[in-house]
Amino acid sequence: MTTVLGCIADDFTGATDIAGLLARSGVRVSLRIGVPEGPPRDTAAFEVIALKSRTAPVGEALAETRAALRWLQAAGAQRFFWKYCSTFDSTSEGNIGPVAEALMADLGTDQTIYCPAFPENGRSIFMGNLFVGRQPLAESPMKDHPLTPMRDSNLMRLLAPQVTRPVGLVDRLCVADGAEAVRQALGRLQEQGITHAVVDAVAMSDLDSIASACRDIPLMTGGSALAAPLPALYIAEEWLAPDATAAAPPRLDAGAVVLSGSCSAMTQAQVAAYLRQGHPACRLDPLELAETGAGPALDWLARQDLAKAPILYATAEPASVAWAQERLGVARAGRLVEDTLATCAVAARDAGACRIIAAGGETSGAVTQALEVARLNIGPEIAPGVPWTFCTSGGRQIALALKSGNFGTEGFFSDAQSRLAQA
Ligand code: ADP
């Protein structure tokens, strides 16, 4: 099938997030991990390419994104979406602005929009200022992010040093007047030579207006929520073939495993809830892993009944994480956990687990890589931004749920399993 929208995401769980929201429409969505080698084959109406470019050096991010664009163009796409984090995670060097300018140059377009709002998840933009819940971005926990500390809440000021052309705003007063008002405002900005337009949105209905106004521009940029209305708009325009709907989920055996390497507050609550339900559990401690390697975890896993959906988790409280990091170093502690969970994912698959749930962005990346998954078909949504995905690994059909740290509610691990049972 010819691809109608090509999406490029700057990180892995961001890619599953946008893919999941697009799949809400029932249209087939396919996610590729990295730029696929070789020409496009068996393409879906919506193709998402997951990069790992958020904090990569600018030159590397540009090269990867341009390669992704070329592949998506070869798949037939004429419209593109550059997806970044809803908290605009970037430094003054980039990579959001430089990548957008490179994509615009390659597409020969002279205007794009920036709308990372995701009101359903508490991200809104008013007068160009991004809020996380009720806090301005620069007062939210994002101010202390280890790689991309966000110390300004104003998207125009954040974007300006990252781009070479002028930055402007379509404000909420205009967006509240609907799609036609947004379209006219963008036209006026274009006449003034404004290349980069930040667009306010405080409600999901604002995103409907913005997506409608921009449905035929070559490049949109923003968070995943802005893309969610696009499938319905494309169907209304008859840009989508009627047989674009997703295939039925594959039939899978009962075996399941949960692998949690996220220490985010929500994951801690999710692990605690899952333990209270009495699932078999194995706690991983990086200090012990440094001594023993993955052996004891693999031995434990080999003794489990996978129908009981056992959990292996390194999820721990900040003090315990800090203790391990002090003794082993941040990178080594992380790697020990990621490597062990990734090895366990392969062992669980080989022992018959067809449903694998991974918690943590980095953890999900390590698990997917170890399972040698190159492509995921997007299935039913478990929580906003977290879909089940279906793929082939080790010659078998499996289902993977990849959850970034703070996504989902307390019952996520068991909700995920019942969601697949209903699908
Ligand atoms: P999140 O999406 O919540 O940020 P990630 O998987 O991206 O989760 O990141 C969590 C990191 O913390 C991973 O590198 C993981 O290996 C590491 N980690 C997990 N548990 C521990 C622990 N107990 N001590 C130290 N590091 C840990």
Radius of gyration of the chain (CA): 21
pTM: 0.88
CA distance 201 to 214: 14
Domain 5-236 = CATH 3.40.50.1100: no
Residue found by looking up tokens 């708009």 in the block = 233
Determine the distance separating the centroid of ligand 1 and the alpha carbon of 336, expressed in angstroms. 10
Measured at the CA of 392, the angle between CA 375 and CA 17, to 5 degrees, comes to 40
Residue to probe by mutation, ligand 1, list 337, 343, 406, most atoms within 8 Å of CB: 337
- The pLDDT of residue 242: 67
- The pLDDT of residue 247: 73
Helices (H), 141-256: 155-159, 172-175, 179-191, 204-213, 224-227, 230-237
Residue 359's φ and ψ, nearest 5 degrees, are: -115, 125
Q: Ligand 1: which residue has its CA nearest to atom 26?
A: 334
User: Token pair of 41, please?
Assistant: 């084959």
- Three-class SS of 162-194: HCCCCEEEECHHHHCCCHHHHHHHHHHHHHCCC
Residue to probe by mutation, ligand 1, list 262, 335, 339, 406, most atoms within 8 Å of CB: 262
Give mean pLDDT, residues 410-418: 96
- The answer to whether 189 and 112 are in contact (CB under 8 A) is no
pLDDT tens for residues 333-367? 999 999 999 999 999 999 999 999 999 988 998 99
Give mean pLDDT, residues 210-235: 97
List the chain domain ranges. Answer: 5-236, 256-422
Determine the distance separating the centroid of ligand 1 and the alpha carbon of 100, expressed in angstroms. 30
Q: Which residues line ligand 1 (CB under 6 A)?
A: 261-264, 267, 286, 314, 316, 320-321, 324-325, 333-334, 337-338, 360-363, 404-405
In the structure, what pLDDT confidence band is assigned to residue 145 with cuts at 50, 70 and 90? confident
Determine the distance separating the centroid of ligand 1 and the alpha carbon of 362, expressed in angstroms. 7
Q: Return the CATH class of domain 256-422.
A: alpha beta
| DSSP category for residue 197 | E
Residue to probe by mutation, ligand 1, list 271, 362, 369, 402, most atoms within 8 Å of CB: 362
